[in-house]
Amino acid sequence: MKTIIAAFVLILYPLLFCETVFADVSVSLKLDRVEATLTDTVRMEIRVDGSRTSDTVPLISGLESFRVTKGGTSSRVKIINGSVESGIDYAYFIQPKKIGAFAIGPAVIEIDGQKLKSNTVTLEVKNAAQSAGADTGPVFIEASISSNEVYIEEQTIYTLKLYHRINVDDLALSLPEIEHVSFKQLGDPRNYQTVYAGKSYHVLEVRYALLASKAGNVDIGPSKMTMTVRQPGGRSLFDDFFSDSFFKGRFPSISSGRPLHLSTRPIELKVHDLPQKGKPTNFTGLVGDFKIESQLEPDNVRTGESATLTVCVSGKGNATRIPIIDFPDLPFAQVYSDQPAFETEMTDHGIGGTKTMKWALVPEKEGRFDIPELTLSYFNPETHAYHTLRSPHQVLTVLPGKKQDETVFNASLDNNSNDRGSLKKEIEQIGEDILPIHTAAGGLSVPFRIMTSGWRFWLSLAGPVAIYLVLLAGLNLRNRSHHGLARSRSRNAYKKFMKRCRKVGGDSIDLLDAFKEYLNDKFSLSIGTLTSSDAGRLLEKHNVNTGTAGKIRQIIETIESAVYAGNNVKDSNVADDLLKLVKTLEKEIR
């Protein structure tokens, strides 16, 4: 314990002299995926950046068609070079009640008296996949593609899902090797829960963008996955000994398991060639949906100065095929091209990217000039047609350049034409070296000598020790009074709960906070967030009757549903029922 305190002091001591800079407060809403089925559970996260506290919990719009369960709240702090970045994360799990496309958000939260809103995310809910009818077992794998007919270089999403009801590890995946077909992984694998054939499964999902470069019928062979399956079963005394918490995580190889090999079913894919009708002469094989943007900065210069033309081509598709556009020669300016930059962008719907091209324009004469438009052609599979992009119109205004005053210099040369060798300027000092030049011994004294003696020196040595002793004394005092304070909180928990419940009336948030505070006082806890399942497990742990714990869990679920929708508990009996159950708890806990 003393070692921990000492380390804590040494970490905090330098921070006393840091300059603290807080970022602007912002709120964002994120789903772990944008497509789900009626049996899936989707993780939703409300992220607050720039503040570790809030006046209210988030109120989220668009959840009427979902069952909502709170996942917990966490805070974070990051310190980099004295700059503090902090935030709060609210986690929720939502399960759809019906199919369709649903706009979730914005989430509204109040911080320091100011209401902030998040973005809105659309979740598409589809019917669950139909099982074949046979028992698939505790572990199986499935593969699917988003479209069975595509054009050359058009993306289709290849999705692999591993369903398992038992623990698995040591996973290894082997994708089919197909000529003229490539797989590109879209983001990290996802984990969630779903129901398949009436049974609950954990799902590991991996998505790939599949591109075919040759027309014809393609047989996508099986994807193969190997793993180690951990199944509960007969155990020996030796196994029980090494399953103790002391050995968990230290000797993972002791756990036994059996290897398992799984394969997906083949999938047929039909690849169409690009149409010849309407194909532009400058078509380079770009397939997808793209746009072009341009900017001229500055658009007003003098002759001899430089203006930069920036052109960005971006979109979803085989963006790596975006060509480098040839910029034509200009009769009024010199053109210098820069090295193009490409950035890949991955989304749930496929791979895209942005190519940025820049040219420096140096005009040689004044006037007002039109910058020629740049064109680029691509094929859009959704419209089944070719399109041509044209850069926006840009105009460059060139003003006369600054004339240098050469008259005096030329006159000086004429007047001294007979004695050109005497044209020498007196040497003058225009600056100093980065390092100082010392011209006396006094300049060689040690800098900051004042910090090696005197009261500042002793303060820098004794400061950490003094802080350590103060914290140690406070910790000892806290330990002595902790048990007495805990007993006092436990005795007064029920009275405090009754008093607060009479004040809150039907307010859902205050009623839930009152019960959470009761549990904290009764059992000397520091619960930050409370869900119905957490409350049930906690009460059963303290030997509360299972029936009583179940009734309290049901009441908290009713209150939670009202909290997430931003409503109050309309049924006044909920508060009374909760009071009666807490009174029963007092008797059972004793």
Q: What CATH number corresponds to the domain at position 187?
A: 2.60.40
Do 263 and 339 lie in one domain? The reply is no
Q: Both 488 and 583 in a single domain?
A: yes
Q: Are strands 288-297 and 385-390 parallel, antiparallel or unpaired?
A: unpaired
pLDDT of residue 549: 80
- Does residue 21 belong to any structural domain of this protein? yes
Q: Which residues of the chain have pLDDT under 70?
A: 1-23, 81-82, 128-135, 231-256, 402-454, 457, 478-484, 504-508, 528-529, 561-572, 590
In this predicted structure, what is the pLDDT of residue 436? 63
Place of tokens 């549990």: 519
Same domain, 158 and 222: yes
Is the separation of the CB atoms in 212 and 267 below 8 Å?
Answer: no
Torsion angle of C-alpha atoms 536, 541, 546, 550, degrees rounded to 10: -10
In a domain, 430, yes or no: no
Identity of the residue numbered 24: D
Q: Please report, for residues 272, 325, 388, 432, 518, the alpha-carbon distance to residue 284 in angstroms, rounded to integers and kept in the order given.
A: 17, 11, 12, 57, 69
Residue where a domain stops, chosen among 354, 374, 399: 399
Contact 547, 553 (CB under 8 A): no
Count CA within 13 A, CB hemisphere, residue 450.
2
Q: For residue 494, what are the domain limits?
A: 482-589
For the chain, counts of helices (H) and of strands (E): 8, 31
* Cβ neighbours of 357 (radius 10 Å): 22
Q: What is the pLDDT of residue 503?
A: 73
Does 184 fall in a domain?
Answer: yes
432 located within any domain: no
Place of tokens 């006092």: 488
Looking at residue 584, its pLDDT comes to: 83
CA–CA gap between residue 476 and residue 209 (Å, rounded): 60
Last residue of one domain, picked from the residues 246, 272, 298: 272
**How many domains are there within the chain?**
4
97 with 178, same domain: the answer is no
Tokens 């041509």 correspond to: 388
pLDDT at 420: 46
82 and 189 co-located in one domain: no
Contact 296, 396 (CB under 8 A): yes
User: Is 147 in the same domain as 253?
Assistant: yes
pLDDT at 14: 45
Q: What gap in Å lies between CA 30 and CA 314, rounded to an integer?
A: 24
Residue 28 and residue 79 in one domain? yes
Q: What is the pLDDT of residue 564?
A: 62
The answer as to whether 476 is a domain residue is no
C-beta of residue 303 within 8 angstroms of C-beta of residue 363 = yes
| Cβ neighbours, 10 Å, residue 178 | 15
One domain, residues 49 and 154: no
Instruction: Please name the helix (run of DSSP H) or strand (run of DSSP E) that holds residue 22, with its range, or none.
Output: none
In a domain, 79, yes or no: yes
Q: Could you tell me the CA-to-CA distances from 100 to 103, 120, 127, 315, 483 in Å, in that order?
A: 10, 16, 9, 26, 55
What is the longest distance spanned by two Cα atoms in the chain?
119
Task: Give residue 225's pLDDT.
Answer: 93
Examine the fold and report which residue of 374, 399, 424 is the final residue of a domain before the chain moves on: 399
CB-based burial label for 563 (10 Å; 0-12, 13-18, 19+): buried
24/100 same-domain check: yes
Q: Does 281 map to a domain?
A: no
Q: Are residues 55 and 176 in the same domain?
A: no
Q: Give first-to-last CA distance, the chain, whole Å.
A: 34
* Same domain as 157, residue 262: yes
- The Cα-based distances of 165 to 137, 193, 200 in angstroms read 9, 10, 7
* 232 and 204 in a common domain: yes
pTM: 0.54
Within a domain: 306: yes
CA-to-CA dists, residue 465 to 1, 6, 51, 219, angstroms: 16, 9, 32, 73
